[in-house]
Chain A
Amino acid sequence: MKQTADPMPEKGRDLNDYNFAYLDEQTKRMIRRAILKGLAIPGYQVPFASREMPMPYGWGTGGVQVSAATLTPEDTFKVIDQGADDTTNAVSIRKFFERTAGVATTEETARASVIQTRHRIPEQPLTEDQILVYQVPIPEPLRFLEPSEIETRKMHALEEYGLMHVKLYEDIARHGQIATAYAYPVKVEGRYVMDPSPIPKFDNPKMSGNAAIQLFGAGREQRIYALPPYTQVVSLDFQDYPFEASKADASCDLCGADSSYLDEVIMDDAGGRMFVCSDTDYCRARRDAGQSGSTATRENGS
């Protein structure tokens, strides 16, 4: 006799109950329409009927829905969280699609066809065969200065973007320089001002003229926007305070890279610290190729 309540289903059975990549086909169709509209109007925020996902808001529900609508069974999927493949957010989303879509996954940037990212762009240049999916918490760049959605939509429609510079003005007035270090506002093809999601401003130049398709999904705010390949993306600035893609003034202690974006890691409570590449795959590939940083040299020397 079979029990009706089955708290621990047999392995494999629960997977077959899901549609490919979790979402039903109607939902994917709706999301794909939003994506296509976004690609047709680069930088424009397209509203979409965001679904409840089996993870909390803020964990990438927007990105997951865009990935689910983009993935095909032949795709190879990679997920990074702040550049790393092995942090909680990245691991859980990668597992989610391994189970619900059964797609191949990888940690190598070059092998992936769809890359979902939280707050970084991989160091290795992307190609025309790749899609980069961003997780976006707040898609509206004007939000913190103008709380009204009606008003911000009107400002986008009429290209009234003076307010964006008020934010940068405030930065300089208070800190002596543009202190915005992430989610740095950009203008797309001379038209829409866009929030690039909280990527460090070091990554902003990589968005411009990128060969890959870049898709942005905000689940809670129910917005999708996109950059088609080779789109011009310009970071906003002042004539006398030009935009600067900044990073920590050091090189990676593991692989010695001096041009990649670095994370600072506190080693002890006596001021010890080290810098490592935030892109773990990039760092590993360099070390595999025989490059090394100061830590390795110290260890070898002692």
Chain B
Amino acid sequence: MTRADPLLSVQGVAKYYGARIGCADVSFDLYPGEVMGIVGESGSGKSTLLNCLAGHLAPDRGQVLFDTRAEGLRDTVTMSEPERRMLGRTDWAYVHQHARDGLRMNVSAGGNVGERLMAVGARHYGEIRDSAEDWLGRVEIDTTRIDDRPTAFSGGMQQRLQIARNLVTGPRLVFMDEPTGGLDVSVQARLLDLLRGLVREMGLSAIIVTHDLAVVRLLADRLMVMKDGHVVEAGLTDQVLDDPQHAYTQLLVSSVLHV
């Protein structure tokens, strides 16, 4: 099997908050179709790293190279803001932990899904509505609720709506920040099932930040463990979880409750 070029290549990314370290010396490659999990305790720099990669924060050092459709590998840190924002609504998707941060709560479900389409130039109401209906179906939301506002949705439905809204333009890379946080376990299970299906079906690459080891066990091909802003261990998910080498990883794995 010939190895393709990486979709995302992260080299020596660091972000400081004054003298404090947000994250430091993070390097990895993500290949098309691959799902990378980032785990670690609160304050370990997972979200800082994700925001640096997704262009929400400007890293103080390092490069984030993304394989753009037109020009191949480009450093998203130094590219112009319009280009970066264009990526943010076409090839990238960002799923927030709280659906409220990622949705427009005063706009109907259909409008939420259609927004990205309209942002890239769709100007035909019927077609926008058709793809909104299609996507609501794919994330298991009853299509009769297309004109309801997200405020009328349950937490799990809001999260699924957020996913539909992000995937409608067919992105190649999805950033997820604790996508199952704040949902009860049965809803979590359905959401994970859905995400796994979509990732496999669309051949998405994804970076998932979470503190929930079960989530990465189910979704991620590879795993990075972070502590105090540094990556302490990385490898295949099963390998890291079943045979943790670093003391912190061992602690993390042994902290999971088994019912």
A162-B118, A163-B119 provided; 12 other pairs, C-beta below 8 A? A162-B89, A162-B115, A163-B118, A165-B118, A165-B123, A166-B118, A169-B111, A169-B118, A174-B147, A239-B124, A239-B125, A240-B126
A interface residue numbers (CB < 8 A to B): 145, 158, 160, 162-163, 165-166, 169-170, 172-174, 238-241
Query: Is B120 interfacial (CB 8 A cutoff)?
Result: yes
Chain B, interface residues (CB within 8 Å), range: 20 to 34
Output the least CB separation between A238 and chain B (Å): 4
With a CB–CB cut-off of 8 A, which chain B residues contact A239?
Answer: 123-125
Residues of chain B within 8 A of A172, CB atoms compared: 125
- The minimal Cβ–Cβ distance linking B127 to chain A, given in whole angstroms, is 8
Contact of A145 among B89, B107, B119, B124 (CB under 8 A): B107
Bound-state Cα–Cα, A174 to B129, Å:
13
Residues of chain B at the chain A interface (Cβ within 8 Å): 81-82, 85, 89, 104, 106-108, 110-111, 114-116, 118-121, 123-126, 128-129, 146-147
Q: Is the CB of B120 within 8 A of A173?
A: no
Classify the secondary structure of B's interface with A: helix
Cβ-defined contact, B82 with A158, below 8 A: yes
Residues of A within 8 A of B147 (CB): 173-174
**Beyond A172-B125, A173-B147, A238-B124, is A162–B107 a contact (Cβ under 8 Å)?**
no
Q: Is the CB of B119 within 8 A of A173?
A: no
Chain B residues near A169 (CB, 8 Å)?
110-111, 114, 118, 125, 128
In contact, B107 and A170 (Cβ under 8 angstroms): yes
The contact sample of 11 A-B pairs, CB cut-off 8 A, is A158-B82, A162-B115, A162-B119, A162-B120, A163-B115, A170-B108, A174-B147, A238-B125, A239-B125, A240-B126, A241-B125
CA distance A10 to B82 in the complex (A): 62
**Is the pair B126, A166 in contact by a Cβ cutoff of 8 Å?**
no
Q: How far is the CB of A163 from chain B (nearest CB, A)?
A: 7
Contact in complex: A173, B110 (CB < 8 Å): yes
